[in-house]
A and B are shown apart, each in its own frame.
Chain A
């Protein structure tokens, strides 16, 4: 029962200062994520989802509280927590292969090992034919595959994804969701995934964390017990969706009142 969680967010708050003005982006966030879990953060824009993810990634320092990974405070960005950005963040001067090999090469692994790792992940995300293409030659979906592959190739234990499929067309998005679940199930990854689509959250997550704005905070958590693979058209799925959407709207209604 008292198994050590991979991630333990304890009373995390973040206040930004912008031109002398203080913006409370996040207040007293508490969240525990177990190894291998798929957790989705959902909520209106401005409720601190990105801030929370960036604190876990080590890009931002919390103003109060702390984020613990395996019981150790997050000190800064590191390869154990890979981030997948909505705008991809690929290195435009590197080919698909070189982008995927960036992490392993940075860590000084032997060339042959880097090459083998790269080949494995190029194939895993289905980009064999585009291995020597530059990012500007790829579609959005392919770029995001490269972004996912490069954190996996770097042995990330936890993948942090900030609306990764938000800029993709519906068909590509569905396909990438399937591929992501497939990779997740094969690798025992832990995923923290930000989205503003209720359907996407229910389709992907073991647990959905609902956030609220003004100031940003965690409002509620919902375990999703639907068996996988999930069918978005099934009555059970729709029931969960209706339920969660009512919860989200009741938060909003309370704010408006």
Chain B
């Protein structure tokens, strides 16, 4: 009896999909386009109406973007250099992020699980946390010099806290019931770490990774203000110095798209690994 009710509840979700999936996707896509298109239209009209002389029109930016990506239009110092700057930024974003994850996840687990570690580290980390990453810029230039290492360090700092705090939270909020269930089934002591704590904390850890990666892209512009020759942040700073607003806008767009795509990658991996969680399968 309850088998059939549950079957009825579980199956329509799968059965209904093939028919309604594509129209639903198109609809979602269409709805998502409304605001960007309206903004683009407003931008175009505003520039044409002469509301500003300092900002190029969308069509001009699009043209610069093509030149920035593949060259052949203006042939200046920035033509066909998009991939160089993008790769430079990506290496710092992912490098700094990976290092942050490598340090913050184990540290967060330690702080979450061990009273002594928590007593020693938590006050210090809480004290350092309100200091914005941007405030670290001068110090990081002294410590790491002008250049890529400084950018790398700032990205690391930016991604570190969200990963750490969410890991601590995840480890500390494992339901007590699950420890009881594990121990009455014969899984006790340190064995509970891999079989209970880690899987239970995984959704929070992923939330932290996602926020951390977002912040890494956020921080990269600041990180690349410190006199690195390549990188999207450097492009934006150069564009500002040279009063080439179209370059600034191109850099912004590339960062936005790259950040968005890397978030989608994390979300896809997350949804795959957390299929068991009712709030993650979709």
Q: Which residues of B contact A81 (CB under 8 A)?
A: 184
Among A82-90, A197-205, A217-225, the stretch in contact with B: A82-90
Cross-interface CB contact of B2 among A79, A136, A139, cutoff 8 Å: A139
Interface assignment of B126: CB less than 8 Å from any CB of chain A: no
Count: A-B pairs, CB below 8 Å: 97
**Alpha-carbon distance A127/B10, docked complex (angstroms):** 14
- Subset of 17 A-B contacts with CB under 8 Å: A59-B180, A59-B184, A81-B184, A85-B181, A87-B177, A89-B178, A89-B181, A90-B181, A91-B199, A93-B277, A102-B187, A106-B182, A134-B275, A136-B276, A141-B2, A151-B185, A171-B2
Query: How near does chain A come to B103, taking the closest CB pair, in angstroms?
Result: 25
Residues of B1-18 at the interface with A, using a CB-CB cut-off of 8 Å, are 1-3, 5-7, 9-10
B188 lies within 8 A of chain A by Cβ: yes
Closest chain B residue to A54 by CB distance?
B180
B87 at the A interface (CB under 8 A): no
Q: Which of B3, B183, B277 contacts A142 (CB 8 A)?
A: B3
Q: Are A175 and B1 in contact (CB under 8 A)?
A: yes
Residue on B nearest A82 in the bound complex, by CB: B184
Contact B278 A139 (CB under 8 A): no
Q: How far is the CA of A127 from the CA of B2 in the complex (A)?
A: 11
Asked whether any CB of chain B lies closer than 8 Å to the CB of A92, the reply is: yes
Complex CA gap A85/B182 in Å reads: 13
Residues of A within 8 A of B188 (CB): 76-77
Most buried by B among A90, A107, A137, A150: A137
**Contact of B177 with A139 in the complex, beta carbons under 8 Å:** no
Interface size for chain B: under 10, 10 to 19, 20 to 34, or 35 or more residues?
Answer: 20 to 34
Complex CA distance for A76 and B7, rounded to whole angstroms: 39
- The residues of B that contact A127 with a CB separation of less than 8 Å are 3
- The reply to whether the CB of B200 lies closer than 8 angstroms to some CB of chain A is yes
A171 touches B1 (CB 8 A): yes
Beta-carbon contact of B180 and A93 below 8 Å: no
Give the nearest-CB partner of A138 in chain B. Answer: B6
Quick check: is A129 within 8 A (CB to CB) of the other chain? yes
Which chain A positions have C-beta within 8 A of B10?
Answer: 130, 133, 137
Interchain CB contact under 8 A, B1 and A76: no
Task: Note all chain B residues with C-beta closer than 8 A to A154.
Answer: 185-186
Judged by a CB distance under 8 angstroms, whether A238 is at the interface is no
Smallest Cβ-Cβ distance to A92: which chain B residue: B276
Inter-subunit contact A85/B177 (CB<8 Å)? yes
A91 & B186 in contact (Cβ 8 Å cutoff): no
Q: Residue A172 contacts which of B2, B182, B202 (CB distance < 8 angstroms)?
A: B2
Query: Known: A93-B276, A93-B277, A139-B5. Is A106-B199 also a contact (CB below 8 A)?
Result: no
In the complex, the answer to whether B177 meets A129 with C-beta atoms within 8 Å is no
B178 touches A91 (CB 8 A): yes
- B203: shortest Cβ distance to chain A, in Å? 9
